[in-house]
Amino acid sequence: MTTQSQADGAVFSSRPAGCPVHTIQHDYQLYLAINDIGHTKTKAMSPQTNGICGRFHKTILQEFYQVACRKTLYGGLESLRSDPDKWLWHDNNERTHQGKMCCGRTPMVRLPDGKRVRAEKELNQM
């Protein structure tokens, strides 16, 4: 990924000079591989595939950012980073979610069931 600075026009790259792009592995790709997590991409501007992600963005905006930015004056990046992490932990572990995926359970309670179903589907496809 190459980006260009607005100020002086200098070009910064996440890869060393002369290295092909495909040889560079990002931290998240390594994390996904270590944890045996598949990475999929969705078609842009498609509500059918982006609905869950879009709903999450709306939820975190309404339930965290709009509230926190009215109540808290952040003095630095560390507090700005820690508060969303705390909210996300609460959202995943303590707050029940509705809909066909969680059915009134928390995402972390639902996660083992989802892993089991995925493993069964993969076995059936073999």
Mean pLDDT by 10-residue block, N- to C-terminus, for the chain (126 residues)? 41 49 65 83 72 85 91 85 90 85 83 82 81
pLDDT of residue 108: 87
Residue-wise over 41-52: b if at least 16 C-beta within 10 A, else e?
A: eeeeeeeeeeee
pLDDT of residue 80: 81
CA dihedral 105, 106, 108, 113 (to 10 degrees): 20
**Cα separation, 12 vs 8, whole angstroms:** 11
Predicted structure pTM score: 0.54
pLDDT of residue 86: 92
Nearest partner of 100 among 85, 87, 83, 117, judged by Cα: 117
Amino acid letter, 49? T
What's 18's DSSP letter?
T
